[in-house]
Structure 1
Amino acid sequence: MASIDTLLDHVMPRTPRLTVDLARLEIRQAAIRFCRESRCDRRTLASFNTVPADPLYVLTAPADTAISEVIGVALDEEKIDPLRPDEIPANAETETGTPSHYGYRPKTGELQLIVAPSVVQAVSVIVAVEPSASTTVLNDWIAQRYGRDIAYGALAELLEMPKKPWSDPQLSVLYRGKFNTAIADARDEADKGMTGAATRTRPVFGLR
Structure 2
Amino acid sequence: MATIKQFLKEIRLDVANCPGPVMENAVLNALVAFCKESRFWIQVLDPVDIVAGTHTYNLVVPSAVQNARIHELYTISAHGEPLFPQTADQLDRDWPSIQQIGFIHNFLTSKPWREYSHAQPRLYHQPTRSTVRIVAIPTKSEVGGLLMTAALYPGSTSTTVDDEIFEEWRETIGWGAKARLMMMSKKDWSDANAATAYAAAFTQGTNDAKGQRMRDFARDNKQHHRARSYY
TM range (shorter): 0.7 to 0.9
Indicate the residue corresponding to 1:32 in structure 2: 32
1:187-206, Cα deviation, whole Å (9 max, x unpaired): 11111118x98xxxxxxxxx
Larger radius of gyration: 2
Show structure 1 runs of 5+ residues with no match.
198-208
Indicate the residue corresponding to 1:14 in structure 2: 14
Matching residue's letter, 1:74: S
Matching residue's letter, 2:82: K
Native 8 Å contact 1:55 1:93 kept in 2:
no
- CA distance, structure 1, for counterparts of residue 206 and residue 127 of structure 2: 24
Higher strand fraction: Structure 1 or Structure 2?
A: 1
- CA distance, structure 1, for counterparts of residue 5 and residue 128 of structure 2: 29
Matching residue's letter, 1:187: K
Question: RMSD over aligned Cα, in angstroms?
Answer: 2.1
Native 8 Å contact 1:160 1:168 kept in 2:
yes
TM-superposed CA distance for 1:93, in Å, is 4.3
Q: Which sits farther off after the overlay, 166-175 or 90-99?
A: 90-99
Native 8 Å contact 1:11 1:154 kept in 2:
yes
Instruction: Figure out how many residues of one structure are paired with residues of the other and give that number.
Output: 195
Native 8 Å contact 1:7 1:151 kept in 2:
yes
Does 2:206 align with 1:189?
no
Higher helix fraction: Structure 1 or Structure 2?
A: 2
In the TM superposition, 1:42-81 aligns within 5 A as: 42-62=42-62, 63-81=66-84
Indicate the residue corresponding to 1:143 in structure 2: 166
Matching residue's letter, 1:184: N
TM-score w.r.t. the length of structure 1 is 0.86
Show structure 2 runs of 5+ residues with no match.
94-111, 221-231
TM-superposed CA distance for 1:85, in Å, is 3.5
1:144-197, Cα deviation, whole Å (9 max, x unpaired): 211111111011111111222211111111111111111111111111118x98
Matching residue's letter, 2:164: W
| SS of match in other structure, 2:51 | coil
Indicate the residue corresponding to 1:201 in structure 2: none
Indicate the residue corresponding to 1:101 in structure 2: 123
Identity of aligned residues (%): 22
Native 8 Å contact 1:11 1:155 kept in 2:
yes
1:19-70, Cα deviation, whole Å (9 max, x unpaired): 1111101100101111111111112223233111111110112323111110
